[in-house]
Structure formats: structure tokens, C-alpha cells
Amino acid sequence: MYAAADGSLLIDAEHVEAAVAVWRFSDASVRLIFESATGDPLADRLLVALRTEGHRGLSHTEQRSELGHNYSSADLRDAGTILVALGLAERFKRPTDGRPAEVLRFTPSVKGSSDGDVW
């Protein structure tokens, strides 16, 4: 396509480089727009909160506080389940003075989700 647009009968390196540049731009655009989208707005907000919190994770109470107490326990649980199913978070038990707290934390080992990536 780039060779034809250039009026050339041969595909030169510059035509291939132009095609690669468009591909990279398109790929970066799609990643920026869709990579963090889970299809659920609450799951996306929870994911941002979990990434900010880091390895410690957030208990259910901390999740409610972080998200402004605007969501039911069931909604938060469902959002967490989405993140776990997508491999973006994991659940574990954090010891407390009483009953252990169930905690949700970001899973940085997922491909493309290193701390330097933008979500």
C-alpha cells in the first residue's frame, strides 16, 4: 500500500518501515484505550485502587473506604471476582488480631502489567 501510494513498483525498506510505524501506533492506541477496561466500571476503579496500594492489597473494608462507600458488598465482591478471573488480582487471608481479613491485591506478574505500564 505504501509503495503504491509512493508510485513505486517495488516495495522498499522505507515502505515497510512506514507500515511498521502505523502498526505500532495502532497497537499502542488500542492498548491505551482498552487494556485496562474489564467491561465493568467498578472493577476498573477497584483495579486502579489495588495498583496504587501495592503488594499489601486491600481488605473489603479498605476497598469500601477507597471507593467512597458507594458500592454494596455484593458489587465489590463481584468486581473482585472479575479481576481474579482475568488474572489481574488475587485473594488471600491477612492475619489480624481476630478473624483473618480477606484481602484482594493486584497481581503484577500478568503480562503487560508491570508497575511501569500505564493503565
**Residue type at position 35:** E
The answer to whether the CB of 88 falls within 8 A of the CB of 113 is yes
Q: Give me the mean pLDDT over the 28-44 stretch.
A: 79
pTM: 0.62
Query: Would you call 47 helix, strand, or coil by DSSP?
Result: helix
H or E element at residue 72: none
Report domain extents, the chain. 2-34, 41-106
Residue 87 — left, alpha, or beta (φ > 0 → left; ψ -120 to 50 → alpha)?
Answer: left
Work out the pLDDT band at 117, boundaries 50, 70, 90: very low
The fold of 41-106 is Arc Repressor Mutant, subunit A (1.10.10)
Neighbours of 89 (CB within 10 A): 25
Q: Give me the mean pLDDT over the 36-59 stretch.
A: 89
Per-residue confidence (pLDDT) for residue 35, from 0 to 100: 65
Q: Give me the mean pLDDT over the 56-63 stretch.
A: 94
Q: Cα angle at 99 between 53 and 73, to 5 degrees?
A: 60
Per-residue confidence (pLDDT) for residue 116, from 0 to 100: 43
